[in-house]
Amino acid sequence: MSYLRQIKRKLLLRLLKLEESKFNAYIRTFRFIRTKMLDGAEPAEKASFETEDLEATKNTAAIHEMSLFTEVGKALSAWASLEEIMVCIASKLMCNSIQKAGVVMYSIINFGTWLSIISELLTHEELYTHLKPRFDKLTNRLRALKEIRDRLAHHSAFKSDIPAAAFKVPSLAPSPYDVRAKSLKYQPLTLLEIQDFGRSVVDMAKDLAALVHEMEAIHSAHIDYLDAQIDKFAGPGAFSKAIAAKKEGT
């Protein structure tokens, strides 16, 4: 299912980019035709069109700016929710509460370390060892998504040498002072690409949640097995009676 979701998401992104290209081509054509029509127009009529054009451009830029920053916020919030699911996985591997696992995981800043810890714990927990290859595949996708997440958190739509009020917001890009080879290779993140990242994070969260649910089912089946073994050797209901007796003693 995750593979099909990825295919559908990629196709949707291509369709959206195609629609965006068609719209931009329409705008360019419209502007060209209008300019030709205004060549012989009266000065007052030409001024009126120019005023309307300026106002329309300003409104479009404002809408685009709001959309861009809204999608950045949504994408980062989606990533935060994904991290919560990662903590749930860690808590099951540690056989401890989610709160205690959260203290450990959120104290570790490096996300790569998160992935390494979970991978190592899967190796040492017999109940879930068979899930490690599945998690390793998810890890590759998580690393790629984390790189884009960091770009959303640290790149800007504004430039240091252009006043924010005058800057038209087209995309997110690294600081002009970040001249590392890695940063210089980045292409600006567009609105469509940020939206696609958000959808990718949601898909990843679904796959991680499915892993958590499977771990819960394995744990529940293991408890049922242990209960059955206790009943087998100590008689029906012995485990429940022992628990009840302990509660009465306290």
Tell me: the pLDDT tens digits for 77-108? 999 999 999 999 999 999 999 999 999 999 99
| Cβ 87 vs Cβ 98: under 8 Å | yes
Residue 202 has pLDDT above 90, yes or no: yes
Reported confidence tier of residue 133, pLDDT bands at 50, 70, 90: very high
Phi first, then psi, for residue 172 (nearest 5°) are -100, 135
DSSP assignment of 118-168: HHHHHHH-TTTGGGHHHHHHHHHHHHHHHHHHHHHHH-BSS-TTS-GGG--
**Closest alpha carbon to 95 in 123, 127, 120:** 127
**Model pLDDT, residue 162:** 58
| Cβ 89 vs Cβ 215: under 8 Å | yes
Tell me: the pLDDT tens digits for 35-59? 666 676 677 766 776 777 777 777 7
**Closest alpha carbon to 198 in 23, 81, 61, 66:** 81
Domain ranges of the chain: 44-234
Residue 215 has pLDDT above 90, yes or no: yes
